Chains A and B, each alone.
Chain A
């Protein structure tokens, strides 16, 4: 099995006029992964995806898809890529089937493929209705259908759950999992919904101010969460307790008048903290170990992390 990244950028930079959007981005999407591309609004997610599809020209850096330079082999490479960028591009005056047929013809695919894809995204019954009558969720599903039409090896999806109801989101998640696990597709998925990425992604890239601040497997991200575990001490006077604890137990910080935080080291450290405070006559209402959520880790990374 090859581990050459399906998507790879090298020192990819982009600016709108004098305003820099991306700075020396080095993205690497492993084959067969669901790569969650996270970042706050305006961080450069959509610009990155547009560059990956050749919709924008990068003044510096390179984009490689399947190991080949996109600038040199754009047409051949895009034949194996399906994409949904922001809102789906749909012709409202045409039916759902006709919309797929337009793209099927453009891609030179076999007849009958549009009907297969309509069934895959659950729109067979609405196939002949004009798209202007579709709900937001149906439009999103048809947009996904357009991306799935060529049975692509790489799917690039920008906020694909936009407009979907909870059932639609679950269906979308299941579909993406199935495509990855059963068919080995590589899926690059951008979203601002951290919980959604957490549920479906195998790998994560976090972008902030046009720079990648984290990239790796979900396990690696979980390790970071574990590394940032804290002991939470509920007492009467956090400031007094702070001075009572020996330096060897870690650097304590006062979170509030009655709450003290201490970086977690081990179970033994927890026991020592309890013993010290009880011996010093301090009341101990609660002693717990708390792991930050992915959202907190994300915020921590986007606020403090150095650029990769």
Chain B
């Protein structure tokens, strides 16, 4: 029996998985969460500053650093980890609800391609959400410049370089949670269990925020990078150079969770 035994390359398999994964995102809560999730902290801080700005911002000074810090704090401590926990659970739930694992694994693509493609989608959605957040944040500052000229938003330039640097730090700090939650969602194949696990991790991190070794906790990393934000003598937003310990730990958790997770999943998890 003549038969062509050439399989598509791993890269081709991975790319096919990735195209399919993006198509599956249509009309899903995961996509809407990534696109709209960043609006909440921005809107909250916009309203606070619009109505009480004169009491919160130092009169006559550059307001951007304070405004960005306030908003980033709201986002990082609770909303960002919560977003990651929800996003990973929702993305994996797309396959769980469709009982699609058996279908996926019976197709001519490797398991590594299937799992790494989903990981990349998560990384992209995480980046998309954070970029949308930053754009909305800066746009809201510009809007405050129009609506409340007395707050001086329009009188000072947008601190784009600082915000982009902070975005990079924040992104690194979220990777640990993302990796752990992704493996948990794949392992449990349910929405509730990984979500509860993540909430447990988040509550533990918030409880231990004053602990001297808190930098090692992945769920606390988005909060820890807030310490990198400051302002110079002119009130211009600055971000400390270099990668913080919390970010290194986040990267370590990310790599560790994925390696351990892949080993466990490929050894023990069937495509039921």
| Complex contacts, A77 vs chain B, CB 8 Å | 5, 108
B 223-260 contacts with A by CB, 8 A: none
User: Does B20 have its Cβ within 8 Å of any Cβ on chain A?
Assistant: yes
User: Does B11 have its Cβ within 8 Å of any Cβ on chain A?
Assistant: no
User: Does A137 have its Cβ within 8 Å of any Cβ on chain B?
Assistant: no
Instruction: Let me know if A76 and B108 touch, CB within 8 A.
Output: yes
Instruction: Let me know if B20 and A89 touch, CB within 8 A.
Output: no
| Complex contacts, B271 vs chain A, CB 8 Å | 50, 55-56
B 258-272 contacts with A by CB, 8 A: 270-271
Q: Complex: how many Å from CA A79 to CA B271?
A: 18
B 197-216 contacts with A by CB, 8 A: none
B 79-130 contacts with A by CB, 8 A: 94, 97-110
Instruction: Let me know if A78 and B8 touch, CB within 8 A.
Output: no
A68-B5 contact in complex given A55-B270, A78-B108, A107-B108, C-beta closer than 8 Å: yes
Task: Map CB proximity to B onto A170-192 as digits: 1 under 8 Å, 0 otherwise.
Answer: 00000000000000000000000
User: Does A2 have its Cβ within 8 Å of any Cβ on chain B?
Assistant: yes
Q: Complex: how many Å from CA A53 to CA B97?
A: 21
Instruction: Let me know if A103 and B107 touch, CB within 8 A.
Output: yes
Instruction: Let me know if A50 and B102 touch, CB within 8 A.
Output: yes
Determine which residue in B3, B8, B17, B27 has the highest number of CB atoms from chain A within 10 A of its CB, and name it.
B3
Q: Complex: how many Å from CA A107 to CA B107?
A: 7
Q: Complex: how many Å from CA A20 to CA B51?
A: 70
User: Does A26 have its Cβ within 8 Å of any Cβ on chain B?
Assistant: no
User: Does A289 have its Cβ within 8 Å of any Cβ on chain B?
Assistant: no
Instruction: Let me know if A56 and B270 touch, CB within 8 A.
Output: yes
| Complex contacts, B108 vs chain A, CB 8 Å | 75-79, 107
Instruction: Let me know if B1 and A67 touch, CB within 8 A.
Output: yes
Q: How large is the interface on B (under 10, 10 to 19, 20 to 34, 35 or more residues)?
A: 35 or more
Determine which residue in B5, B17, B107 has the highest number of CB atoms from chain A within 10 A of its CB, and name it.
B107
Task: Map CB proximity to B onto A23-58 as digits: 1 under 8 Å, 0 otherwise.
Answer: 000000001000000000000000000100111100
User: Does B56 have its Cβ within 8 Å of any Cβ on chain A?
Assistant: no
Instruction: Let me know if A101 and B102 touch, CB within 8 A.
Output: no
| Complex contacts, B109 vs chain A, CB 8 Å | 75, 106
A102-B106 contact in complex given A87-B99, A89-B99, C-beta closer than 8 Å: no
User: Does A169 have its Cβ within 8 Å of any Cβ on chain B?
Assistant: no
| Complex contacts, B98 vs chain A, CB 8 Å | 89-92
| Complex contacts, A92 vs chain B, CB 8 Å | 97-98
User: Does A4 have its Cβ within 8 Å of any Cβ on chain B?
Assistant: yes
Q: Complex: how many Å from CA A59 to CA B196?
A: 35
Determine which residue in B27, B28, B103 has the highest number of CB atoms from chain A within 10 A of its CB, and name it.
B103
| Complex contacts, B110 vs chain A, CB 8 Å | 75
A83-B106 contact in complex given A56-B270, A76-B6, C-beta closer than 8 Å: yes
Question: Which partner residue on chain B sits nearest A156 by CB separation?
Answer: B106
Q: Complex: how many Å from CA A67 to CA B2?
A: 9
User: Does B58 have its Cβ within 8 Å of any Cβ on chain A?
Assistant: no
Q: Complex: how many Å from CA A83 to CA B106?
A: 7
| Complex contacts, A66 vs chain B, CB 8 Å | 1, 3
User: Does B19 have its Cβ within 8 Å of any Cβ on chain A?
Assistant: yes
Question: Which partner residue on chain A sits nearest B114 by CB separation?
Answer: A106
Instruction: Let me know if B107 and A94 touch, CB within 8 A.
Output: no
Q: Complex: how many Å from CA A103 to CA B16?
A: 9
| Complex contacts, A55 vs chain B, CB 8 Å | 102, 105-106, 270-271
User: Does B156 have its Cβ within 8 Å of any Cβ on chain A?
Assistant: no
| Complex contacts, B100 vs chain A, CB 8 Å | 89, 91
Question: Which partner residue on chain A sits nearest B270 by CB separation?
Answer: A56
A75-B7 contact in complex given A105-B16, A106-B104, C-beta closer than 8 Å: yes
Question: Which partner residue on chain A sits nearest B19 by CB separation?
Answer: A105
Q: Complex: how many Å from CA A108 to CA B19?
A: 10
User: Does B13 have its Cβ within 8 Å of any Cβ on chain A?
Assistant: yes
Instruction: Let me know if B20 and A85 touch, CB within 8 A.
Output: no
| Complex contacts, B13 vs chain A, CB 8 Å | 75
Q: Complex: how many Å from CA A153 to CA B268?
A: 31
| Complex contacts, B19 vs chain A, CB 8 Å | 105
Give the shortest distance, in Å, between B215 (CB) and chain A (any CB): 40
A53-B106 contact in complex given A106-B17, A108-B8, C-beta closer than 8 Å: yes
Q: Complex: how many Å from CA A38 to CA B102?
A: 22
Determine which residue in A68, A91, A146 has the highest number of CB atoms from chain B within 10 A of its CB, and name it.
A91
User: Does A275 have its Cβ within 8 Å of any Cβ on chain B?
Assistant: no
Instruction: Let me know if B24 and A91 touch, CB within 8 A.
Output: yes
| Complex contacts, A68 vs chain B, CB 8 Å | 3, 5
Please give 19 more A-B residue pairs, beta carbons under 8 A apart, in addition to A77-B5, A85-B106: A31-B1, A55-B106, A66-B3, A67-B1, A67-B3, A75-B7, A76-B5, A77-B108, A80-B3, A83-B106, A88-B103, A91-B97, A93-B28, A98-B26, A101-B23, A103-B103, A105-B16, A108-B16, A146-B103
6 closest Cβ pairs, A-B complex: A89-B103, A75-B7, A79-B108, A76-B7, A89-B100, A53-B106
Interface residues of A (CB under 8 A from B): 2, 4, 6, 31, 50, 53-56, 66-68, 73, 75-81, 83, 85-94, 98, 101-103, 105-108, 146
A-B contact pairs, 20 of them (CB 8 A): A54-B106, A55-B102, A68-B3, A73-B5, A76-B4, A76-B6, A77-B5, A78-B106, A79-B8, A85-B103, A86-B102, A87-B99, A89-B103, A91-B98, A91-B100, A92-B97, A98-B23, A105-B16, A106-B16, A106-B107
